[in-house]
Structure 1
Amino acid sequence: MMRKVLMEAMMLSAPLLVAACLVSLVVSLLQTLTSVQEQTLTIVPRLVVVFVVTMATLPWMVHRLVSFTVRMFTDFHRYLG
């Protein structure tokens, strides 16, 4: 049961983590090329992209989480014994 929960958590967080990593990579590359080392340049774009990706994938996340919860409650008798 814990393996299923952890897999579901990874699947739900993957789009956000991938987006944040890609934005961080691009911003770091731009900072290196332009020699601008401003700390807010790394945080603000990442927050904006994570927010946009969250809003874009929120219906998919809610649907997946609800179906996972229903599956866990309907198969809960398997985990009691």
Structure 2
Amino acid sequence: MDEGMIIELGQQTMLTILIMAAPMLGFGLIVGLSVSIFQTITSIQEQTLTFVPKIVAVFASVIIFAPWLLSILINFTTSLFSDFSQFIQ
């Protein structure tokens, strides 16, 4: 296993992590921005108001995107195990 294979494996791993985290981060960002705008408009300065909607949005996005995330994870794991003989050498 040479340096090129290690770098390629690391790049694939990081790309898979970013793709899997993107829906949750996106929903959290959108909900956080919406709550912040709502707080600014209504002059409500309650700090706990921002956390609960974000948590609900992240859990909802996990439930919504779970089949897609699972297929990405299965494809990555399958490709990793199919190339396992190359990693041993």
Q: Does the alignment reach a TM-score above 0.5? A: yes
**Cα RMSD after superposing both structures:** 1.0
Partners in 1 of 2:87 and 2:15 — Cα distance? 17
The equivalent residue for 2:16 is 8
The one-letter code sitting in structure 1 at the alignment partner of 2:33 is L
User: Where do 4+ consecutive residues of structure 1 move more than 4 Å?
Assistant: none
Gaps of 5+ in 1: none
Larger Rg: 2
1:76 shift after superposition: 2.2
Cα deviation, 1:9-40, whole Å, max 9, x if unaligned, reads 00000000000001110000110111101011
Gaps of 5+ in 2: 1-8
Query: Is 2:41 the partner of 1:33?
Result: yes
The one-letter code sitting in structure 2 at the alignment partner of 1:42 is T
The TM-score normalised by the length of structure 2 is 0.85
Percent same amino acid at aligned positions? 37
Partners in 1 of 2:34 and 2:46 — Cα distance? 14
The equivalent residue for 2:51 is 43
The equivalent residue for 1:75 is 83
The TM-score normalised by the length of structure 1 is 0.93
1:75 shift after superposition: 1.3
Partners in 2 of 1:5 and 1:78 — Cα distance? 17
